[in-house]
Homo-oligomer: A and B are copies of this chain.
Amino acid sequence: MPYKNYISNSVIRRLPRYYRFLGDLQKEGLTKISSFELSARMKLTASQIRQDLNCFGGFGMQGYGYNVAELRSEIGKIIGVERKIGAILIGAGNLGKAIITYFDFPKYGCELIGIFDNNSDLVDSQIAGVTICHISKLAAFCKKSKPEIAVLCIPKENAGAISEMLVDCGVKAFWNFSHYDINLHFDDIIVENVHMGDSLLTLAYNVNNKNK
């Protein structure tokens, strides 16, 4: 579908934000918006918005602007929110539990189809309607249900071994909350890191170094 055969990472990372803003505008009842108006709301340049969108196609109309609902829907298609990629959670501790409770996965193009933990006490209880299984059942489950995404909420110490196992089981992508750089160890595996520790340290730097 993309017009261009190469889409830069910078552009890709802005897509979800466009998608989110357009959803808000739709809720506000707006039917059309110009790149200029949108740029004011998002604190971007109008130029950048037009460049970004034109990587994927000409969604606008000269002299008019963009149709909000249509543009949102197009970006949704580009991201692929409708496909519902099969995802499993590894590690049902505080963080893992919070993430899947907090998140409506289908809204983000995914479907939670399994939860695994090495703590036997958690096994057979449910989170978000999905039963927790012991980690020993992982390989068999993957063979049968072929999850594509693994949400990693486990301690750094276990992340190396578990991620290797998951890749062997055919998992293609990681949503990584562990303090471990998965991408360093595999080629061809898609990783989205949520290094919250790095994020908090960046904040600390900025607080401590303001006006210096």
Contact = CB atoms under 8 A, between A and B. Distances in A.
Given A94-B101, A102-B95, A179-B20, A192 B197 contact: no
Contacts of A209: 2, 7, 78, 80
A110 interface: yes
A161 to B, nearest CB: 16
Interface of A is mostly: helix
Contacts of A20: 179, 197-198
A190 interface: yes
Contacts of A203: 149, 173, 175, 190, 192
A16 B159 CA distance: 19
Given A43-B184, A79-B205, A110 B200 contact: yes
Contacts of A198: 13, 16-17, 20
How many copies of this chain does one complex carry? 2
Contacts of A192: 199-200, 202-203, 206
Interface of A: 1-2, 7, 12-13, 15-17, 19-20, 41-43, 78-81, 83, 85, 93-95, 97-99, 101-103, 107-110, 148-149, 172-173, 175, 179, 181, 183-184, 190, 192, 194-210, 212
Given A12-B202, A17-B195, A81-B204, 10 more contacts: A13-B198, A16-B198, A80-B205, A85-B208, A95-B101, A95-B102, A103-B197, A108-B197, A109-B204, A192-B199
